[in-house]
Amino acid sequence: MSLSVIVITKNEAASIEACLASVPFASEWIVVDSGSTDDTRDIARRLGARVVETADWPGFGPQKNRALAEARGDWVLSLDADEQVSPRLAEQIRAVVQGGEERGAVAYTLSRLSSFCGQWMRHGDWYPDHVLRLFRRGQAQFSNDLVHESVQCSGKVGHLDGHLLHDSMPSLEECLDKMNRYTSGRARDQRRAGKRGGLGTAIGHGLWAFVRSYFVRGGLLDGRMGFIVAFSIAEGTYYRYLKLWMLERGLGSPSAQVVNKKGLHAE
């Protein structure tokens, strides 16, 4: 059995080496890059990755499907450039690839642990964050969403312990920047899916997002950062529904150009 690791990138020179180095047992590393202007591609090639360059940016889902099409391994592990596989999770992934997986499972969810401004967030909407990232090639593909894409498979799904470490928001500035870009992308996705926005809807969903993250799911246990994250989730949710409403009224056209890094979790 063999493992392909796929990563989509744009200007990820600061993180791509740690990402790829966290899965040294992979049979191949495939990096699909959409116009990096830093050393991302050179670093990836130096580490042994096969780099595929694309001239356009179709959105997260379509871009990840491009990377998936390049994979040749029996199993595929999809990573974001700002993620790393912990040693414990690496052992479990290796066991799956070597044939020790849960009987009949064709895909696995992983437990993602994300950081905000240097603090690991262990409560609230961000944890536990089970993401489907490991699957048999040919048994799954990515949705066509511009942002918050998901892996779609029809077979049995298992779960692996150990953490997928996600350096999500290194600074408040990046948090605010991502919030703007990702709410625009999500508004376009929801508009395409036929969902409706509105001022009341935006306020209601935003308030519930804060209550859910901070109180219901225990974000307050993460201290001050827990409050900041819960408030950011609420704000992102509010702006997403507001942008959707603006799209419906022809008062705005949120850009489809969302850079290929993960952003805020929002309702």
The answer on pLDDT for 265 being more than 70 is: no
Q: What is the pLDDT of residues 149-198, one digit of tens each?
A: 999 998 999 999 999 999 988 899 999 999 999 999 999 999 999 999 99
163 and 187 fall within a common domain = no
Please indicate, yes or no, if residue 260 is contained in any of the structural domains: no
Please indicate, yes or no, if residue 267 is contained in any of the structural domains: no
The answer on pLDDT for 110 being more than 50 is: yes
Asked which of 119, 134, 169 is the last residue of a domain, the reply is 169
The answer on pLDDT for 48 being more than 70 is: yes
Q: What is the pLDDT of residues 83-96, one digit of tens each?
A: 999 999 999 999 99
Cis ω for the linkage preceding 24 (within 30 of 0) = no
114 and 215 fall within a common domain = no
Please indicate, yes or no, if residue 255 is contained in any of the structural domains: no
The answer on pLDDT for 112 being more than 90 is: yes
Q: What distances in angstroms separate CA 240 from CA 246, 257, 264, one per listed residue?
A: 10, 15, 11
Listed residue (96, 87, 162, 88) closest to 134, CA to CA: 96
Please indicate, yes or no, if residue 21 is contained in any of the structural domains: yes
Which domain does 135 fall in, by range? 3-169
Q: What is the pLDDT of residues 244-264, one digit of tens each?
A: 999 999 876 555 444 444 333
13 and 95 fall within a common domain = yes
Please indicate, yes or no, if residue 55 is contained in any of the structural domains: yes
Number of independent structural domains in the chain: 2
CB 1, CB 27: distance < 8 Å: no
> In the predicted model, what is the mean pLDDT of residues 23-36?
97
State the DSSP string of 231-267: HHHHHHHHHHHHHHHHHHHTS----S---SS------
CB 97, CB 121: distance < 8 Å: no
Please indicate, yes or no, if residue 233 is contained in any of the structural domains: yes
161 and 192 fall within a common domain = no
> In the predicted model, what is the mean pLDDT of residues 134-152?
95
71 and 53 fall within a common domain = yes
Split at pLDDT 50, 70, 90, the class of 34 is: very high
CA 128 – CA 227 distance, rounded (Å): 17
183 and 220 fall within a common domain = yes
> What percent of the chain is predicted at pLDDT more than 90?
86
165 and 178 fall within a common domain = no
Asked which of 141, 169, 197 is the last residue of a domain, the reply is 169
Q: Given this model, what pLDDT does residue 103 score? A: 73
Please indicate, yes or no, if residue 70 is contained in any of the structural domains: yes
Q: What is the pLDDT of residues 59-86, one digit of tens each?
A: 999 999 999 999 999 999 999 999 999 9
Q: Given this model, what pLDDT does residue 241 score? A: 97
Q: Given this model, what pLDDT does residue 135 score? A: 97
37 and 80 fall within a common domain = yes
